[in-house]
Amino acid sequence: MKTEAETTWSTAQSEELYGFPRWGSGHFHANTSGMVTVEPLADGRQICIKDVIDEAVGTGMQAPFVIRFQDLLRHRVERLNLAFNQAIKEENYDARYRGVFPIKVNQLREVVEEIVDAGAEFEYGLEAGSKPELVIALAMHEGKDRLIICNGYKDPDYIRLALLGRKLGKQIVIVVEQLSEVDHIVALAKETGVEPVIGFRAKLLTRGEGKWASSTGENAKFGLNTAEILLAARKLRKANLTDCVRLLHFHIGSQVPNILTIKKAVVEASRFYCQLVKMGFPMGILDVGGGLGIDYDGSRTNFESSMNYSMEEYASDVVANIRDICVTADVAVPDITSESGRAVVAPHSMLVVEVFERISKRESLSVKQRPKKKHKVVKDLEALAESKTNLGRLERYHDALQRKEEAFSLFNLGYLDLENRAAAESLFWQICEEVVRGDRDTGFIPEELLELKGMLADQYVCNFSVFQSLLDHWALKQLFPIAPLHRLDEKPSVDAILVDITCDSDGKIDSFIDLEDTSHHLPLHPLNGEPYYLGVFLTGAYQDIMGDLHNLFGRVNEVHVFLEDDEENGFYIEETLQGSRIRDVVNGVQYSHNDLSRRIKKLIDAATKRDEIKPREGVRWLELYENILETKTYLNIERPPKKKPRKKR
């Protein structure tokens, strides 16, 4: 039987609760059957994510999955380019937008291929920040008019690769980050006879804002300060390479939450650009780097997981500010490049995790403990629990906290037995529950009590690794929108935090998006014996690729989904990539799975000789070991078979 609250709950309320309309950019919704849907092109065609999961599970895969919506990726490339083209038209800007995708934000082949394909009609190029990335960019890049921008520290081989690009007829720009690179470029240009195209990366005084603020500004590790740019200019003039300098670049960090910071940086860089033109360099391109944000929490503020501007506003501010400065300086406006990575790829992929267990403090601690001989501290706590005294909630909490500490000291000194300790613990949490429950009707909740609410939350154990799949949440406290992918027509009645299966207490998610600041728990549904899937959204940038093999969990399964009108569900799975097997990850840390098997066989043989294992049994144990090497690293969740309902007579 459903309670009234459960029956009156609607998916619209879930949509609001989990914030789909705020962070989803029109791509994510809940339908009337309580399922989350994705609308890759924002054109009305929706895919039910649970259908994708069911189809993947039908082919023998298990969560965790990464699901990529390739059409959504394409849509983002188009939206960025259209935003700039529109701004250029509206501002009567007399040059082009020629953006590049920074490969480091998602190096996966299918992602880069889709972007290169979607960008063909916009002359959208690629950016590399290292030799391996340039190796990819050179081979994957197409077209004569699309840029390749080479950033990052460079050794002579990096520069040689870029010169190879020139020989292949590509528009490839070597951006000077360090003064020493100028000497290499000069020498290699002479050696190979290839004329390079050169850019300067300027160290702006305008500092980024947000998580990367401290890595920008005067003390940034990248870029040339004013004196160094002048020195570089002199060196190039001496080598007769003045005509090769075509681009000015800056990058003030990723996820810039405040549009004012962006405007300031663009103004400073435009002034720089005009000065370089006046010094006699041909120039022609101003590269505004990355920084275009994603509104992860949907608050549209300058909070670090959000942004106070839209992609369209960004484009028109960049265009208008460059134009204004150039017009006043009487310099022809440049082509504009941006290296927006996060904004292009973050929305296209999501992580699906399965919850397989609920750990509830409430349940174990609600059992009444009756120690044979009650210690005084337990009696004190009992009095506190019973007295619905006039103490304020916070005061009552603090008193309980003090008694709990007292009980622990007594236990450590040997004055409290296990029964009394258990009694003290459950009384303490019982008081906490009451204190928190008192909150329901009042508006303002002190921070301390909010945290307490998080501490009382149930733990939902999910079959995944934070360190593999959500590295930025662990390392940078980056927030991602998280919501159940089904049952949204039921009221979520459990306050929970999420924990992963690594043996690391940091392997958890206990901060969630909220309109104000962050929330310490997520409302979820009670488990009902069926698989319960959660989606972590907007994960396509950076962590998609940075997993760190903590506990050797390795890559997760992946499915690549395309819209398809002729299919029953409106989609098809184009490709599935299998996640890491155990043999893959052990081989990755320098073992050989064959050698490991041999060692186990030896041990089994020895045990057989000692008559501790029967020969036939030994064969089976070895088979088990070898079969497990071929399986996936994540938990293989086996649910107990459902009991058949007894027939009523």
Asked if 102 touches ligand PLP (CB under 6 A), the answer is: yes
Q: Compute the least distance from the CB of residue 255 to ligand PLP, in Å.
A: 6
Q: Which residues contact 426 (CB under 8 A, 6 or more apart)?
A: 365, 366, 367, 368, 369
Q: CB of residue 115 vs ligand PLP: minimum separation in angstroms?
A: 13
- Report the nearest approach of ligand PLP to the CB of residue 482 (Å): 21
Angle at 222 between CA 154 and CA 145, to 5 degrees: 60
Q: What whole-number distance in Å separates Cα of residue 159 and Cα of residue 79?
A: 33
Which of 310-318, 337-345, 586-594, 627-635 is the region at the interface with ligand PLP (rule: CB under 6 A)? 337-345
Site for ligand PLP in 440-499 (CB under 6 A): none
In the bound complex, what is the minimum distance in angstroms from residue 547's beta carbon to ligand PLP?
18
CA distance 457 to 534: 17
540 is a site residue for ligand PLP (CB under 6 A): no
Tokens matching residue 210:
């947000």
Q: Between residues 104 and 246, which has the closer beta carbon with respect to ligand PLP?
A: 104
Residue with Cβ nearer ligand PLP (64 or 129) = 129
Element (H, E) at 183: helix 179-192
Helices (H) and strands (E) in the chain, counts: 24, 23
The residue among 153 and 408 lying less far from ligand PLP, judged by its C-beta, is: 153
- Of the pair 247, 292, the CB lying nearest ligand PLP is at 292
How far is Cα 89 from Cα 316, in angstroms, rounded to an integer? 10
Binding span for ligand PLP by CB under 6 A among 17-25, 97-105, 267-275, 587-595: 97-105
Site pattern 115..154 for ligand PLP (x: CB under 6 A): --------------x---------------------x---
Q: Tokens 């740019």 label which residue?
A: 229
**C-alpha to C-alpha distance for 251 and 289, rounded to whole angstroms:** 4
Could you tell me how many residues of this chain bind ligand PLP (CB under 6 A)? Answer: 16
Backbone angles phi and psi of 632, in degrees to 5: -70, 160
Helix (H, G, I), strand (E, B) or coil at 569: coil
In the complex, least distance from residue 328 CB atom to ligand PLP, rounded to whole angstroms: 27
- 242, β-bridge pairs: none
Decide whether 340 or 633 has the Cβ nearer to ligand PLP: 340
Specify the residue, 65 or 303, whose C-beta has the smaller distance to ligand PLP.
303
Taking the complex as a whole, the smallest distance from the CB of residue 333 to ligand PLP amounts, in Å, to 22
Decide: is 538 part of the binding site for ligand PLP (CB under 6 A): no
**CA 454 to chain centroid:** 22
Task: Kindly give the pairing relationship between strand 245-249 and strand 285-287.
Answer: parallel
Task: Select from 251, 473, 520, 560 the one that contacts ligand PLP (CB under 6 A).
Answer: 251
Q: Does 208 interact with ligand PLP (rule: CB under 6 A)?
A: no
- Evaluate the CA torsion angle 580, 556, 462, 63 in order and state its sign: negative
CA-to-CA dists, residue 293 to 108, 129, 176, 258, 514, angstroms: 21, 20, 26, 9, 18
Binding to ligand PLP by residue 347, rule CB under 6 A?
A: no
Euclidean distance between CA atoms 313 and 628, whole angstroms = 53
Closer to ligand PLP by Cβ: residue 46 or 255: 255
Indicate whether 334 belongs to the interface with ligand PLP (CB under 6 A): no
Distance CA 487, CA 480 (A): 20
Where in 145-204 is the site for ligand PLP (CB under 6 A)?
151
Among 76, 104, 207, 560, binds ligand PLP (CB under 6 A): 104
Residue 211 engages ligand PLP in binding (rule: CB under 6 A): no
Quick one: 37 or 254, whose CB is closer to ligand PLP? 254
| 257 near ligand PLP (CB under 6 A) | no
Tokens of 499: 């924990």
Tokens 């999420």: give the residue: 498
Do 337 and 318 meet the contact criterion of CB atoms below 8 Å apart? no
Q: Does 254 engage in binding with ligand PLP (CB under 6 A)?
A: yes
Query: CA end-to-end span of the chain, whole Å?
Result: 22
Stretch that binds ligand PLP, among 61-69, 79-87, 91-99, 338-346 (CB under 6 A): 338-346
Whose CA is closest to 438, among 392, 400, 405?
392
**What track of x and - describes contact with ligand PLP for positions 282 through 321 (by CB under 6 A)?**
-------xxxx-----------------------------
Which stretch, 262-270, 333-341, 407-415, 422-430, contacts ligand PLP (CB under 6 A)?
Answer: 333-341
Half-sphere exposure of 556 (CA within 13 A, CB side): 32
Pairing between strand 532-536 and 522-524? unpaired
* Residue closer to ligand PLP (CB basis): 165 or 531: 165
Under the criterion CB under 6 A, does residue 223 sit at the interface with ligand PLP? no
Binding site for ligand PLP (CB under 6 A): 102, 104-105, 129, 151, 251, 254-255, 289-292, 339-342
